[in-house]
Amino acid sequence: MPRFKLTQNENKEKEGILQVKKIMNLLLTAGMVVTLSGCGKPIPVDQAIPGAYRNLAEAKSYAFQAKMKLRVDEDSVNLPEEGFNDMETALSYGSPLFMLLGKEATIEIQGAYDREENRAEAELKLQLDGGDDSSTTIKSVIVATEDNAWIKIPENFAVMMGEPEVGGKYYELGTGYKIPLTPANLSQLGTEGLKIITEDLEGIALKNVKGQRGNLKVDTLSRLEITEDNLEDVLRIAVKNILPKLVELLGTSEWRSKLDLTEEDISSMRSSFEQITNEEISTEANNLKEGMELRKAFVDLGTNKSSRLKYIGAKFDLDVLGDGDTFTLKADINAVLDRYNKKQQLKYGIPTEDEVFRDGEYDEYTEEDLE
């Protein structure tokens, strides 16, 4: 994979990166709202999405496969002149994935979840095209349980990052992300939360659409779409309607007890957004519009008559505008879920102690060792 070395312009670079972060956070939030969920006659969107999430959360097992295509234009934001020698440096620039991809990338994911086995497994394949007759293929595996997760470090990626000794080992992501809820409680909370979100966004950015995805038959296709016309409305609804209602839900004695939250925690959540004015929301929306050209940004959810999530799709096409630079991102994502409540083929298992790499284990390894 070619190493990118472009002239550094610190102020312009920071401005471009901040715009990338804001827009990607917005798109990721939109994706999470719909991805958490999605018949004959289509089910109303405020029922289809919470119902699909509930069925997914309560499923005993399912299989999934996804394919994502990304393209980054040649005129990208400036990278540091010295390049990226390690992942920590890359992460500090806010958008390492797109900066390291070159010009085109295809990501394929295939895996399954089985509650009886208490884990999910997924195989990942990343094909990178540098645009100059160079390409790189990176393969990895992710294993996740209810309270931990591991990702296998590809050998060629480890060499690229300057730490070949960790290639082939698993990196433990840790237990910090665990939510103290049973599957039933998680299903209940997610369903109630999505009911709030879909009711407020329906008709503004969320609606049922007609269509079929290839040979995949879906009965209800729900779409969340962000446009330059509805961007300010979506931000205002999120801050003024959705967030207060979600905090009110979490602040009930039932959920405070289940989530081990205090009244101070709820008060802190509330104070993080209740002082935001409509003028500030308008200013932020205008800043986003000035910093980008948004041609397309939507996430689709397809469900069957039983309100089971069968399809997730998304398309993004936008320019992030800087001082003389343009960062163009195009993405096409398609995912299918099937084999609900059937026995799944899990083949990797939970990594053993010897298979796991931990931070600090190879701190003594330096770049001089490569020379």
Domain assignment present for residue 371? The answer is: no
Residue 348 pLDDT exceeds 50: yes
pLDDT value of position 5: 37
Q: Which residue, among 331, 295, 337, 310, has the nearest Cα to 68 in the 3D structure? A: 331
DSSP bridge partners of 135: 129
User: Which is higher by pLDDT, 200 or 3?
Assistant: 200
Find the distance separating the first CA and the last CA of the chain, reported in whole Å: 19
pTM over 0.85: no
What residues have CB less than 8 Å from 179, skipping those under 6 apart?
186, 259
Give me the domain span that covers residue 221.
10-360
Residue 227 pLDDT exceeds 80: yes
Residue 39 pLDDT exceeds 90: no
- Residue 154 phi/psi, 5-degree rounding, is -60, 140
Residue 65 pLDDT exceeds 60: yes
pLDDT band, residue 93 (cuts 50/70/90):
very low
Domain assignment present for residue 152? The answer is: yes
How far is CA 58 from each of CA 55, 62, 74, 339, rounded to the nearest angstrom? 5, 11, 44, 14
pLDDT per residue over 114-160, tens digit each?
999 989 999 999 887 766 666 788 899 999 987 788 999 999 888 87
Domain assignment present for residue 5? The answer is: no
Residue 267 pLDDT exceeds 80: yes
**How is residue 240 annotated by DSSP?**
I
Domain assignment present for residue 193? The answer is: yes
pLDDT value of position 130: 66
Letter for the amino acid at 287? N
Domain assignment present for residue 322? The answer is: yes
pLDDT value of position 33: 43
Mean pLDDT of 78-102: 48
Answer yes or no: are the C-beta atoms of 122 and 346 closer than 8 Å.
no
Residue 268 pLDDT exceeds 60: yes
Residue 73 pLDDT exceeds 80: no
User: Which is higher by pLDDT, 342 or 77?
Assistant: 342
pLDDT value of position 320: 80
Report the C-alpha gap between 229 and 31 in whole angstroms: 18
pLDDT band, residue 180 (cuts 50/70/90):
low
Domain count, the chain: 1
- Residue ranges of the alpha helices (H) in the chain? 10-35, 45-58, 87-91, 96-100, 155-160, 183-201, 231-237, 243-250, 253-259, 263-271, 278-290
| Mean pLDDT across the chain | 78
User: Which is higher by pLDDT, 50 or 41?
Assistant: 50
Report the C-alpha gap between 136 and 225 in whole angstroms: 33
- Residue bearing tokens 């008709």: 203
Domain assignment present for residue 119? The answer is: yes
Q: Dihedral, CA atoms, 242, 243, 244, 245, nearest 10 degrees?
A: 50
Residue 35 pLDDT exceeds 60: no
Domain assignment present for residue 369? The answer is: no
Residue 285 pLDDT exceeds 50: yes
Domain assignment present for residue 151? The answer is: yes
